[in-house]
Amino acid sequence: MVFRAMSWDEVYKRIFAKASMTEKFFRDREYAGYKRTWITWPMLERKIGRRRPSEYQVVSYALSYWSPDPNSPTYRYLGAPFELSPTHHIQKWYIYFRDKSPLVKAVVEAGGWHDYSDPHEIVYWKYNAMMDEEETVVDGLLEQIVKTKHDTTLSEDMLKFYRDYYDPLRFIWHALQMHCAYLGQMAPTSTVINIFTFMAMDYLRRAQRVAQRIKMLDIVYPGYGFGAYGRQKWEEDPAYQPLRQAVEQMLVTYDYTEALVSFALAIKPAADIALLEYYGRLADLNGDKYLYQIHISFLKDSQRHQDQLVALFKYAFERAPSTKDIVRSQLGRWRNAAEASVRGLRPVFESMPVKIPVDEVVDSVKAKFRELDSAIGL
């Protein structure tokens, strides 16, 4: 008996395809009618024709095969994002929490997410070069702290601020990093995946620098308890409980639309204003000029994040204007939680010798919300 080796597409078709399907299987719709010029990027060729693509387009455009694209092979043949059984729990998770999520679904029906573009066109090498420069700045500031023995000049109030209120930021930034990872993992296209991947790395940078700063203080003041109470303060200190509740509720918000809205338009901007800008100002007013300078580097990341997220919502609203009502319906709850989180920080801002009224911080957060709403056309 002679056995004939079957080609991969025959095997695949025998396993997955319906009997009525007669066309060649893999990416047949993308390849149909194309000359073999850019055979690796047929969807990009459809977008820009014979023009030379940018580096960003080559490494970013429409590269996630699990995107909710009805023309992708897995959706055409399985009706699901991955090459698994359509009843697999991962398939069900993505279909329920992403594909059926109102914002994602509406934009897919209006033409899809692939044409979203990061306004900064960040690619891996560009991110590394940019962050290398920023990290050099932060390293220089920390070296200056050591050389000048700055920490030996800090007041008792500043030491308590670092121990009781700054150390817990490790947990906040890590929580936001995890949420970015979820938004990236569930994202509807590769260009959206990219912005949340780099965003998660930015939050890791913040958490690492908080830990480093606390360890520096622990070396100078070994008996003061630096690094010993951060988790306890995060979990039990009344000042942080409204913020912890909001962040933890956000982490278990699995619907993609609400997960995005809660993060991008409520919790994240409030945290950036209160914990970066105003914690930095508070330290500066109370004799520590370096913390605010370190936070300026982090705030540059936040501005890039805002540009990317504003562009994402504008993209969605331009293609599916009805989704504005969906976002509005979810926004009130999360904005209230964000404002309550900032108000909860009153003991931080008003217990220092030079105080910042918490109402001033809340007003700045509200102003940021209005700025975001105006930018996305909400």
Q: What is the pLDDT of residues 130-173, one digit of tens each?
A: 999 999 999 999 999 999 999 999 999 999 999 999 999 999 99
Can you tell me which residue has the tokens 């993060």?
Answer: 263
CATH of 124-376 among 3.80.30.20, 1.10.3720.10, 2.130.10.10, 1.10.620.20: 1.10.620.20
The pLDDT value given to residue 7: 57
Q: Radius of gyration over alpha carbons of the chain, in Å?
A: 24
Distance CA 63, CA 277 (A): 37
Contacts of 127 (CB under 8 A, 6+ apart): 198, 201
Q: In the chain, count of helices (H) and strands (E)?
A: 20, 0
Residue 348: pLDDT band by 50, 70, 90 thresholds?
very high
Higher pLDDT, 112 or 53: 112
Higher pLDDT, 80 or 51: 80
The pLDDT value given to residue 138: 96
Q: Is it the case that residue 341 has pLDDT exceeding 70?
A: yes
Q: Is it the case that residue 354 has pLDDT exceeding 90?
A: yes
| C-alpha to C-alpha distances, 84 to 77, 81, 87, 122, 189, nearest whole angstrom | 11, 8, 8, 32, 19
Higher pLDDT, 80 or 204: 204
Contacts of 279 (CB under 8 A, 6+ apart): 165, 166, 169, 291, 295, 348
Q: Residues spanned by CATH 1.10.620.20 within the chain?
A: 124-376
The pLDDT value given to residue 192: 97
| Range 182-194 average pLDDT | 96
- Give, rounded to a whole angstrom, the gap between the first and last alpha carbons of the chain: 70
∠ at Cα 348 (347, 352), nearest 5°?
95
Q: What is the mean pLDDT of the chain?
A: 89
Residue 9: pLDDT band by 50, 70, 90 thresholds?
low
Residue 20: pLDDT band by 50, 70, 90 thresholds?
very low
The letter for the amino acid at 296 is I
- The closest alpha carbon to 240, from 335, 162, 342, 333, belongs to 342
Residue 31: pLDDT band by 50, 70, 90 thresholds?
very low
Q: Is it the case that residue 64 has pLDDT exceeding 80?
A: yes
For residues 298, 233, 172, 259, the Cα torsion angle rounded to the nearest 10 degrees is: -150
Higher pLDDT, 285 or 28: 285
Higher pLDDT, 16 or 289: 289
Q: Is it the case that residue 110 has pLDDT exceeding 90?
A: yes
Higher pLDDT, 270 or 71: 270
Q: Which of 46-55, 204-213, 287-296 has the lowest mean pLDDT?
A: 46-55
- The closest alpha carbon to 186, from 97, 87, 251, 298, belongs to 97
| Range 283-291 average pLDDT | 95
Q: Is it the case that residue 261 has pLDDT exceeding 50?
A: yes
| Range 66-83 average pLDDT | 84
The pLDDT value given to residue 34: 44
The pLDDT value given to residue 52: 82
The pLDDT value given to residue 63: 86
Distance CA 370, CA 18 (A): 52
Distance CA 189, CA 174 (A): 24
